[in-house]
Structure 1
C-alpha cells in the first residue's frame, strides 16, 4: 500500500470524537458541577480531547480542568468510559476520571474561565439526574458506583451498562 493509498484509506474510516472530564467531590460526597455559557444545564469540568495534537484523554482532563476552573490536579483512576451517541454528530467516547476529594481550601482556589463558564456549585449525588443532562448523569452515577465498590471503570453506552 502506498502512502497515498493509506491516506485515502484513513480518510474513509468512520469518525469518533473524544471527551474527558473529572469528577471532584468534597468531604461530604457532594459533586462539583459547572454551568457552561455555550449550552443549557450543568456539566463536569472537562472537554474535548485534542487528539489531532497528540493529546491523550488523561492529558485533556487535566488541561481542561486547569483551563476551566484554574486547578491543576492530576486525574486519578479512570472510573467510566461511555460511548455516547447523539444527533448530528459522530459518537463521543467520554472518559471520566476520579478527581478525588478536594479540601475547602482547594474549592476556594477555583477560578472560572469566564468565556466558557458562568458558575460552579456542589450537588448531592441524589441531585445528579436533575442537573446533568443526557448520558452524563448516568455516567457520573456509574462512576460513583465504580469508586464505591472498586469494580474498575464502568463500560457504558449512552450512560447505561454496555452489557444491557
Structure 2
C-alpha cells in the first residue's frame, strides 16, 4: 500500500473523541465539581485528550487537573470508561481516574482556570444528580461504587454500566 493510499485509508476510518477526568473527594466523601462557563451543568476537572500530540488518557486527566484547578496530584487507578453516543458529534470515550481524597490544604490551594470555570464545590453523592447532566451522572456514581466495593474498572455506555 502506498503512502497516499494509507493516508486515504486512515482518513476514511470512523472518528471518536476522547476525554479524561479525575474524581476528587474530601474526607467526608463529597465529590469536587467545577462549574464551566461554556455549558450548562457542572463537571469534573478534566477535558479533551490531546491525542494528536501523543497525549494519553492519564496524561490528559493530569494536565487538565493542573490547568483547571491548579493541583499537581498523582492520579490513581482508572475507575470507569464510558462510551457516550453523540447526535451532532462523534462518540466520546470518557476515562475517569481516581484523584484521591484531598486534604484541607489541597482544597485551599485550588485555583480555578478563570477562562473556563466559574466556581467549584464539594457535593455529596445524593445531590450529584442536581449538578451533573447526562451520562456524567451515571459515570460518577459508577466510579464511586467501584471505590466503595473495591471492584475493577466500570465499563459504561451513556453512563449506564454494561459490565454487570
SS at match of 2:100: strand
1:147 Cα offset (Å): 1.0
* TM-score, normalised with respect to structure 1: 0.98
Structure 1: gaps (5+ residues): none
Structure 2 residue aligned with 1:47 = 47
Aligned to 1:111: 111
Which residue is 1:26 aligned to? 26
- C-alpha distance in 1, partners of 2:2/2:24? 48
Equivalent residue, structure 2, for 1:131 = 131
**Structure 2 SS opposite 1:82:** strand
1:1-164 → structure 2 map (5 Å cutoff)? 1-163=1-163
Runs of 4+ in 1 over 3 A off after TM superposition: none
Number of equivalenced pairs: 164
Say which SS state the counterpart of residue 74 (structure 2) adopts: coil
Partners in 2 of 1:74 and 1:19 — Cα distance? 18
**Alpha-carbon displacement from aligned partner over 1:107-144 (angstroms, at most 9, x marks no partner):** 00000000000000000011111110010000000001
The runs of 5 or more residues in structure 2 that have no matched partner are none
Q: Is the 8 A contact 2:34 2:120 kept in 1?
A: yes
